Structure 1
């Protein structure tokens, strides 16, 4: 499937990036550098001025009364909501529409390339480029941990331009199907709707999508990519016209068998880095799920009465709920990702 992005990279931009792409062995980067920059620009505009304008229109003084730190966090959640919704829709569409991707066997899943898969890699990298800039400019809000995560996630997604496991790019993007509901949950807290019926319904959807997409589907796909990488260690792509290769988008970077020119065996450092990141994130997903259930339950359980309350028979109104805050690591998994 060809790259569905409506614009081609300017030749001058391709020429400027080409030396860096050759230096770091990222041959498909020049084909998608404009998408990285365009997506970063889009998220920058959403962060400011679009989010402040829309937020003031929707919630009025509630937004204006926020402190600078909380306002920065609010606008970042708006970007996260838009980005996760957009890229999930695109990932689902490509998974169904990319016929070349659906024909890939284990070798093509490791070294294969299509323009559509490269676009998904680029849009994810563009988000983390934006994240890196915003986090570095607001260290008092996000802290060094978030900065380190943004940098590492950008590097991990950049590996896809070798190309490397492009097949799995939309697959692992679907981990974020729960992220829009997580952001809604966060906004409901900030709007004083903690424990409301709307938050209850949203919380149920959040838990269901997180469990099915991350714990079930995500764990299965992690086992799949682990098996593919293990089979590829110490070997390079074969070029058998009657076997593995499929008809991918042709160009200067793709040869007649469908593999990017120069594709070779996977270095151990890349395989181990990718697998370690994937296993770590899977472990975090299970931890986040437990913390998420605890936080959601806390919002809808009445507070426990003390012994003195029982003696005086003071009734606790049914509509009183405790204010429970999601752990920082759960509040926005999209910003703390990624493989």
Structure 2
């Protein structure tokens, strides 16, 4: 996967100069990107993007399932040792594995959206489609199918909240193969850049629960990066993107499907509000930690 992304980036660099030696806008050069996995399509002649890219959805799902069953437990055992293997609670152990899968998904998502992140925002949301964007959507759909199955099969563990999030995410990405708002998939998926910091923060909190010493500097650096990146791309960019998308939908309002338009805007707005809620919780935790450290400082001075 990473080699394909490297080739794609190199193609963009090469295509920024035309045959006459004049530079071409890289934002336009991305149109020349092709799906390197399309040659494996089971339905290469199909006009349906769902069928044309079905192999990528299936391979992606199988990949994340393999990570969940085999790679995640191995990595958790390798990284956390007995702090992972000694866990008796099924939910806690599964959470460790799920966060490893999430980490893989975050890095893969960011890597494959970068080549098309500069697609113009004013493209027709009702008709635009691009081979590379379709691949990005298909790979992401495979992940969210895995996520959905995990939430359904472990409903007693994750509950309605996580299941609803999985369904909403699957719909928002899946509808881009309709195609609808496909050029916005990379611009929304870039929010996954904050996920590694979220996961590291979760791992640290779990280790602290088990009385494992974690370097303070690691916790502080990750915390600062988490809040900075999370606020920048999930809050600032998240709400900005919804504004831009709403404008483009309004411009093509006579072409877009009404129901899908309503659901896309509603779900993404809800996701943004949820991110705002999570960020407010982060701020409360930071304040609580700061107050705790002040109290400790005062008590030490009295002693």
Name the TM-score class by shorter chain: 0.7 to 0.9
1:48 matches 2:69 = yes
The alignment's TM-score, normalised by the length of structure 1, stands at: 0.71
Moved more, 284-293 or 56-65: 284-293
The whole-number CA distance in structure 2 between the counterparts of 1:212 and 1:221 is 12
Aligned partner of 1:3 among 35, 49, 52: 35
Partners of 1:278 and 1:6 in 2: how far apart? Answer: 29
Equivalent in 231, 237, 245 of residue 225 of structure 1: 245
Listed as ranges, the matches of 1:19-168 within 5 Å are: 27-66=48-87, 67-96=89-118, 101-102=119-120, 105-107=122-124, 109-168=125-184
Q: Conserved in 2, the CA contact under 8 Å of 1:38 and 1:126?
A: yes
State whether structure 2 residue 283 is matched by structure 1 residue 298: no
The Cα shift of 1:299 comes to 3.8
Which runs of no fewer than 5 residues in structure 2 stay unpaired? 1-32
Q: Which residue, out of 220, 231, 238, partners 1:200?
A: 220
Alignment of 1:164-203 (within 5 A): 164-192=180-208, 193=213, 196-203=216-223
Distance in 1 separating the partners of 2:258 and 2:205: 45
Shift of 1:292: 1.4
Tell me the CA shift for residue 164 of structure 1: 0.3
Write the distance in 2 (CA, Å) between the matches of 1:172 and 1:316. Answer: 49
Alignment-derived partner of residue 14 in structure 2 = none
Unaligned runs of 5+ in 1: 19-25, 235-264, 318-339
**CA deviation vs aligned residue, 1:95-149 (integer Å, no higher than 9, x gap):** 25xxxx44x7442x43211110001111211111001111111122211221232
Match of 1:240 in 2: none
Question: Alpha-carbon deviation of 1:300?
Answer: 4.9
User: Hey, which of these two has a bigger chunk of helix by percent?
Assistant: 2
Shift of 1:273: 1.2
Structure 1 residues 48 and 162, CA gap change in structure 2 (3 angstroms): same
Give the deviation of 1:151 after TM superposition. Answer: 2.1
Larger RCO, structures 1/2 (Cα 8 Å, 6+ apart)? 1
Q: Return the alpha-carbon distance in structure 1 between the equivalents of residues 273 and 160 of structure 2.
A: 22
Please show how residues 266-277 of structure 1 align to structure 2 within 5 Å.
Answer: 266-277=256-267
Residue 272 (structure 2) aligned to one of 264, 277, 282: 282
Provide closer, same or farther for how the CA distance between residues 58 and 105 of structure 1 changes in structure 2, counting only shifts above 3 A: closer
Whether contact under 8 Å (1:194, 1:299) holds in the other structure is: no
Larger gyration radius, structure 1 or structure 2 = 1
So what's the TM-score if we normalise by structure 2?
0.79
Aligned residues: 265
